[in-house]
Amino acid sequence: MKKHTSIWQHLFKTPHQLAWVDVAGVDTRYLEAGPADAPVVILLHGTAGSLENFGANYAAYAGHFRVIGLDMLGCGWTDKPDYDYLIEDYVEHVRGFMDAMGIARAAVVGVSLGAWVGAALALAHPARVDKLVLVAPAGIIVDPEEERRFAEGVRKSRSSAAAEPGWETVSAALKALLLDPEALSDELVGVRLEIYRDPRMKAAMPRLLAFSLGGQALSEEAWRSLTLPVQVIAAVDAPNMFLSNAHAIARTVPNAQLVEIKGCDHWAQYEQPERFNQESIAFLQEA
């Protein structure tokens, strides 16, 4: 039996709302839960993902925070404007989302591209970000050749899934993110399939992936200048580029805490939600 069978199974006992808000002309989808007066935590998904990637986390976070997951610029059911999206564009969309939602400051939890965007947001707008949790972090280059190969593979898999969206292509792209491919729920595949079947997505996918063509990574100096508290999640059973990235960031960022989690690959928040929720919530609650 699969470990994660339904997004709704995680949410059905938790009051929440799914809505859209205008962010400088970009209709942006988000899911919000938790007390309106609690500290805010914003969840940022990975490349060409959606807010459903945090289905196993909203309820636990809502017990302590006003937690908000959004579909980033061009992703999920958020609008897909006609230009290439670079890291600064993703950052400004998140900042604009915070403005539209009346959020002055928040902690940010980001996975992969979301971690990169969260770090870049904290650098560009330090007064807006309290803490960072970085999962399978991107945005730092440890091995340029491995980075190039991985980016090329992502462009190929996501472009294929959007060009001819079918169960097999979408499922393959998502299973590559898990240590145990059988843990992937059919519901999550179905949601991503519907997103990729959106007629706008075929044209939007190259824009979503433009950041991966190079020249966008944060410098070592930039990472070192991040002085806010940072938790870095390292998937120790997946010895890949992202594990190297996690260790490099933990060594470089002055106020970084490294947490090693077993039994997962790219999506620690999905494959090991109990451990992930416990560790990240404890970090976010620290004074």
- When the pLDDT of each residue in the chain is averaged and rounded to a whole number, the result is 95
Q: Per the domain annotation, does 2 fall within a domain? A: no
Helix, coil or strand: residue 257 = strand
Taking only the tens place, the pLDDT of each residue in 161-182 is 888 899 999 999 999 999 999 9
Residue with tokens 């979301």: 114
Q: Which two tokens stand for residue 183?
A: 């843990």
- In a domain? residue 1: no
**157 in any annotated domain:** yes
Euclidean distance between CA atoms 159 and 122, whole angstroms = 30
Q: Give the structural domain span for 168.
A: 7-285
Q: Is the pLDDT of residue 51 over 90?
A: yes
Pairing mode of beta strands 106-111, 40-44: parallel
Going from the C-alpha of 99 to that of each of 90, 152, 182, the distances in angstroms are 14, 34, 40
Q: In a 10 Å sphere around its CB, with 0-12 CB exposed, 13-18 middle and 19+ buried, how is residue 37 labelled?
A: exposed
Q: Is residue 82 part of a domain?
A: yes
**Domain presence at residue 41:** yes
Cβ neighbors of 185 (< 8 A, separation 6 or more) are 2, 4, 5, 6, 7
Higher pLDDT, residue 120 or 4: 120
| Residue 15 pLDDT > 90 | yes
Cα dihedral across residues 36, 47, 267, 247: positive or negative: negative
Nearest C-alpha neighbor of 192 from the set 179, 209, 205:
205
Count of domains for the chain: 1
Q: Which of 3-7, 30-34, 69-73, 245-249 shows the lowest per-residue confidence on average (mean pLDDT)?
A: 3-7
Token pair 């090693």 is at which residue? 260
pLDDT given for residue 4 in this prediction: 53
Inside any domain, residue 86? yes
Specify whether the CB–CB gap between 223 and 124 falls below 8 A: no
The amino acid present at 27, given as its one-letter code, is D
Percent of the chain with pLDDT over 70: 98
Residue 240 belongs to a domain: yes
Which pTM does this prediction carry?
Answer: 0.96
- Identify whether the C-beta of residue 235 lies closer than 8 Å to the C-beta of residue 266: yes
Asked, for residue 42, whether it belongs to a domain, the answer is yes
Question: Which residues does residue 42 pair with via DSSP β-bridges, in sequence order?
Answer: 68, 108
At residue 272, does pLDDT exceed 90? Answer: yes
Report the CATH number that the domain containing residue 175 is assigned in CATH.
3.40.50.1820
At 210-266, the pLDDT tens digits run 999 989 999 999 999 999 999 999 999 999 999 999 999 999 999 999 999 999 999
